[in-house]
């Protein structure tokens, strides 16, 4: 990524009106997420790396695989907007996913000029693998906590379940994990 694009992202994300308390919460949350993400020695990153997918391709595949709008076929422009990338960049990512047979392009039933992108069975299998690996890492981390730490973490998470976005993701993912 070019330096000016990185600077633009940073400028867009930095919000000086965030309180010191919120900044401290964010720093502690970042430390926790970093630790959890790497707790399993980076297995999720290893699966992504072994798949040969770029980050944009991986994000598009996860979105099409049901973590976004229930796995419905999407237009390339919608995917680009979701992830804040250009349409040509997302189009190249989708082209590579088509070549790997992870997604397919479909004609829109309402407008033949519109093409939609849908995940294939092979793509869904890769998404499921990524989810299982991530869940296994989370379970390993949760298993390393003392009972008191786990209760405190559960209480903190429970307090966020009234957020529709968090609750919806939880409902989708709660059955994911090693058998």
Mean pLDDT of 57-82: 84
pLDDT at 179 over 50: no
Mean pLDDT of 82-90: 92
SS3 content of the chain, % helix, strand, coil (to 5): 65, 5, 25
Query: Please, what are the domains in the chain?
Result: 35-173 (1.10.10.10)
Question: To the nearest whole number, what is the mean pLDDT of the chain?
Answer: 85
Helix (H, G, I), strand (E, B) or coil at 116: strand
Q: 25 pLDDT band (50/70/90 cuts)?
A: confident
pLDDT at 70 over 60: no
User: Distance between CA atoms of 66 and 120, rounded to whole angstroms?
Assistant: 12
pLDDT tens for 145-156 read 999 999 999 999
pLDDT at 3: 66
Mean pLDDT of 88-94: 95
Pick the more confident residue, 50 or 17.
50
Which position has the token pair 């430390």? 31
Predicted TM-score (pTM) of the model is: 0.77
The DSSP call for residue 39 is H
pLDDT at 24 over 50: yes
Give me the percent of the chain exceeding a pLDDT of 70: 86
pLDDT at 69: 46
User: Distance between CA atoms of 102 and 82, rounded to whole angstroms?
Assistant: 19
pLDDT at 14 over 90: no
């Amino acid at each position: 990524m070019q330096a000016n694009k990185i600077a633009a992202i940073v400028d867009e994300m930095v919000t000086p009106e965030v309180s010191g308390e919120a900044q401290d919460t964010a720093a502690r949350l970042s430390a926790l997420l970093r630790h959890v993400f790497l707790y399993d020695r980076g297995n999720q990153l290893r699966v992504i790396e072994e798949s040969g997918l770029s980050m944009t391709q991986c994000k598009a595949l996860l979105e099409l695989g049901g973590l976004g709008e229930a796995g419905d076929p999407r237009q390339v422009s919608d995917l680009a907007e979701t992830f804040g990338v250009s349409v040509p960049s997302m189009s190249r990512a989708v082209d590579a996913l088509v070549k790997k047979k992870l997604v397919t392009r479909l004609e829109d039933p309402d407008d033949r000029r519109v093409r939609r992108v849908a995940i294939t069975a092979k793509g869904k299998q890769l998404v499921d693998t990524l989810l299982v690996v991530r869940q296994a890492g989370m379970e390993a981390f949760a298993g390393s906590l003392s009972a008191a730490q786990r209760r405190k973490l559960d209480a903190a998470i429970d307090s966020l379940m009234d957020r529709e976005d968090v609750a919806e993701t939880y409902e989708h993912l709660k059955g994911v994990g090693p058998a």
